[in-house]
């Protein structure tokens, strides 16, 4: 019956996190270091991933985080209590402040992050509040604000009894230890429910049975292992927007607006010594669909002229379906600019690399990213797979020069060079080993050969007969059975009576002939 008036909505972790971020921003008035993650969990989660765009990185929660996940904030209040008339007042003010925003908060101040985390939750878990000093006053709350003071043991603040004695932890339920659910399940199966039971066990056996994390959490709770708060900071966004009161149709007006937006974004980036790697531009047309332009760069740049050049090349080719009412420009991917000391004389290797990067950027913008390619060898014996192409933009530098660093796993540089095939080509010691032109897919060919598996004698190409004067082969190329459909071919290099050179093969499975290349 009650459900009839209930609206059920799916859980939205992104919105949760956004709300937490707003709260964190608000709490910066109490402490310079506010965050919802600690360095330890942070390391577990985002090792090797980008640090910059935290909002997205925290969404990929590691399994087991959810039961002690991002439902609280950490504030470092070391030495701050004095400013608020004592730490207890600080806690009260924090709670009152959160209440104004519509949150019911619970707070605890303790020596370690682990202890504060546990104390702030002790009500929920049925721990008696008397054992946990500060938390008494804030019992009736829902959301929680966790505060900690990690450096307190070095400088004890006199006159405050917020220090939670170690004995209080003896009966601490293990749920308050920030452990993954699997570990908790295992512990409860073994009948271990409280911390003192766990501490009675030999440490080494704990490590072997439950892993490093359990010991780490105990140490963090008791203060023998250090833990740090990762301060939250709103991720910088490089967006610029222009709203036109009267939609404009004139190209020059629109171009001026885009240019101005690029200037704004670029100057915001340049202040942070960052450059654009990807730039997205959206022009909302009043009747019709919005026009989206995307520009990728070979190396980060905050140069207005260069960025404008790239955008303009796409803008010129695009058709607008109506008058433009809004222009929005966003740097969707950024990276630190290369710091380079300007030489007294222009030129040198840096200049050459820069010029090449400009060329790649320009070509990728106009021809499309798939049309600017950098070949590299693979170890595949099949001719059409012997070379792999990588897009010019957003990858490794050319010619083995110094690479730029990008904080994104997408742009991980795969520096491994495939030298084996190079060697192979050299050992075969022929400049004519492979044709200069390769037909992909191979062209079917009518070939006359004397023996069923003999060399080609004549063939017709584009309606014209070709007589084979000389031939060299066969060279057999097969794919491994583990590569799916097996391919077996006998390749012949032939010279016709007119001196033209071709590369033919016969499929050994169906016996059909194909033209695969020309020694052009």
Partner 1 sequence: MRSPAKAREALVAGLRRQVARLEAGRPPEDERPISTGSPVLDRLLPAGGLRRGTLVEYLAPAAGSGAGTLALAAAREACREGRAFVVVDGSYFYPPAAAAWRIDLSAMLVLRPTSEADALWGLDQALRCPSVGAVWARCDRLEGRDFRRLQLAAEYGGTLGLLVRPARHRGQPTWADVQWEVRSAKDEGRKRQKTMFHPSSFERWQLHIELVRCRGAAAGQAVVLELDEAAGIWREAFDHATRSLPLPAQLAHSAAPRRA
Of residues 383-412, those binding partner 1 (CB under 8 A): 383, 386-387, 389, 392, 398-400
Q: How does DSSP classify residue 425?
A: H
Q: In the bound complex, what is the minimum distance in angstroms from residue 362's beta carbon to partner 1?
A: 6
Query: Among 85, 153, 453, 497, which residue interacts with partner 1 (rule: CB under 8 A)?
Result: 497
CA separation for the pair 23, 14 (Å, rounded): 14
Q: Which of residues 152 and 466 has its CB atom nearest to partner 1 in the complex? A: 466
DSSP 7-61: ------HHHHHHHHHHHHHHHTTT-S-EESEEHHHHHHHHTTS-SS-HHHHTTSP
- Please list, in sequence order, all residues whose beta carbon lies within 8 angstroms of the beta carbon of residue 250, skipping any fewer than 6 positions away: none
Phi, psi at 439, each rounded to 5°: -85, 125
Of residues 121-150, those binding partner 1 (CB under 8 A): none
Under the binding rule (CB under 8 A), the answer on residue 306 touching partner 1 is no
Phi, psi at 416, each rounded to 5°: -65, 120
Q: Which of residues 231 and 397 has its CB atom nearest to partner 1 in the complex? A: 397
Binding span for partner 1 by CB under 8 A among 131-139, 161-169, 216-224, 372-380: 372-380
CA separation for the pair 475, 489 (Å, rounded): 8
Q: Which two tokens stand for residue 200?
A: 């009675």
Under the binding rule (CB under 8 A), the answer on residue 444 touching partner 1 is no
CA separation for the pair 461, 456 (Å, rounded): 13
Under the binding rule (CB under 8 A), the answer on residue 173 touching partner 1 is no
Under the binding rule (CB under 8 A), the answer on residue 382 touching partner 1 is no
Q: In the bound complex, what is the minimum distance in angstroms from residue 435's beta carbon to partner 1?
A: 6
Of residues 462-491, those binding partner 1 (CB under 8 A): 469-470, 472
The residue among 207, 198, 142, 208 whose CA lies nearest residue 175 is 198
Q: Which two tokens stand for residue 383?
A: 């001719």
Q: In the bound complex, what is the minimum distance in angstroms from residue 13's beta carbon to partner 1?
A: 42
Query: Among 136, 255, 338, 495, which residue interacts with partner 1 (rule: CB under 8 A)?
Result: 495
Longest Cα–Cα distance in the chain: 106
Under the binding rule (CB under 8 A), the answer on residue 358 touching partner 1 is yes
Under the binding rule (CB under 8 A), the answer on residue 498 touching partner 1 is yes
Binding span for partner 1 by CB under 8 A among 5-13, 145-153, 208-216, 376-384: 376-384
- Is residue 87 classed as helix, strand or coil in its secondary structure? helix
The 13-52 contact track toward partner 1, x by CB under 8 A, reads: ----------------------------------------
Are residues 58 and 70 in contact, defined by beta-carbon separation less than 8 angstroms? yes
CA separation for the pair 29, 32 (Å, rounded): 7
The 413-442 contact track toward partner 1, x by CB under 8 A, reads: ----x----x--x---xxxxxxxxxxxx--
Q: With the C-alpha atoms ordered 270, 273, 279, 283, is the resulting torsion angle positive or negative?
A: negative
Residues in contact with partner 1 by CB under 8 A are 349, 351-353, 355-356, 358-360, 362-363, 366-368, 370-377, 383, 386-387, 389, 392, 398-400, 417, 422, 425, 429-440, 461, 469-470, 472, 493, 495-502, 517-520
């Amino acid at each position: 019956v009650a459900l009839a008036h209930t609206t059920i909505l799916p859980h939205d972790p992104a919105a949760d996190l956004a709300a937490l971020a707003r709260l964190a921003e608000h709490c910066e008035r109490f402490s310079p270091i506010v965050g919802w993650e600690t360095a330890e969990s942070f390391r577990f989660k985002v090792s090797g991933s980008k640090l910059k765009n935290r909002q997205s990185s925290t969404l990929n929660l590691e399994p087991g985080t959810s039961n002690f996940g991002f439902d609280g904030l950490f504030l470092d209040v070391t030495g701050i209590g004095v400013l608020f008339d004592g730490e207890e007042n600080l806690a009260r003010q924090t709670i009152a402040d959160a209440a104004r925003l519509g949150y019911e908060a619970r707070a605890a101040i303790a020596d370690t992050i682990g202890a504060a985390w546990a104390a702030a939750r002790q009500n929920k878990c049925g721990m008696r509040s008397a054992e946990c000093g500060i938390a008494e006053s804030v019992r009736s709350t829902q959301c929680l604000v966790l505060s900690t003071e990690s450096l307190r043991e070095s400088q004890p603040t006199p006159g405050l009894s917020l220090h939670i004695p170690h004995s209080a932890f003896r009966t601490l339920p293990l749920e308050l230890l920030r452990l993954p659910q699997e570990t908790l399940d295992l512990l409860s199966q073994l009948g271990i429910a409280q911390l003192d039971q766990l501490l009675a066990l030999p440490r080494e056996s704990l490590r072997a049975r439950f892993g490093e994390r359990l010991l780490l959490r105990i140490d963090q709770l008791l203060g023998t292992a250090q833990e740090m708060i990762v301060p939250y900071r709103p991720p910088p966004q490089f967006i610029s927007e222009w709203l036109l009161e009267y939609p404009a149709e004139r190209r020059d007006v629109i171009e001026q607006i885009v240019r101005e937006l690029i200037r704004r974004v670029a100057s915001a980036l340049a202040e942070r010594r960052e450059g654009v790697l990807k730039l997205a531009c959206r022009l909302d047309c009043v009747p019709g669909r919005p026009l989206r332009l995307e520009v990728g760069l070979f190396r980060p740049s905050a140069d207005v002229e260069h960025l404008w050049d790239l955008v303009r090349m796409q803008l010129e080719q695009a058709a607008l379906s109506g008058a433009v009412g809004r222009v929005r420009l966003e740097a969707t991917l950024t990276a630190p600019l290369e710091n380079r000391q300007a030489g007294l004389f222009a030129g040198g290797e840096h200049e050459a690399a820069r010029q090449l990067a400009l060329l790649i950027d320009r070509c990728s913008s106009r021809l499309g990213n798939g049309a600017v390619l950098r070949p590299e060898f693979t170890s595949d014996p099949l001719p059409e797979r012997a070379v792999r192409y990588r897009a010019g933009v957003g990858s490794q530098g050319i010619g083995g020069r110094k690479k730029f660093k990008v904080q994104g796993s997408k742009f991980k540089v795969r520096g491994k060079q495939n030298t084996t095939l190079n060697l192979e080509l050299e050992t075969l010691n022929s400049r004519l080993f492979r044709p200069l032109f390769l037909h992909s897919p191979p062209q079917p060919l009518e070939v006359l050969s004397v023996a069923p598996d003999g060399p080609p004698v004549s063939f017709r190409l584009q309606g014209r007969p070709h007589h084979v004067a000389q031939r060299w082969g066969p060279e057999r190329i097969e794919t491994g059975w583990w590569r799916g459909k097996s391919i077996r071919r006998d390749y012949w290099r032939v010279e016709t009576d007119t001196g033209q050179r071709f590369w033919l093969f016969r499929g050994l499975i169906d016996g059909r002939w194909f033209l695969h290349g020309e020694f052009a």
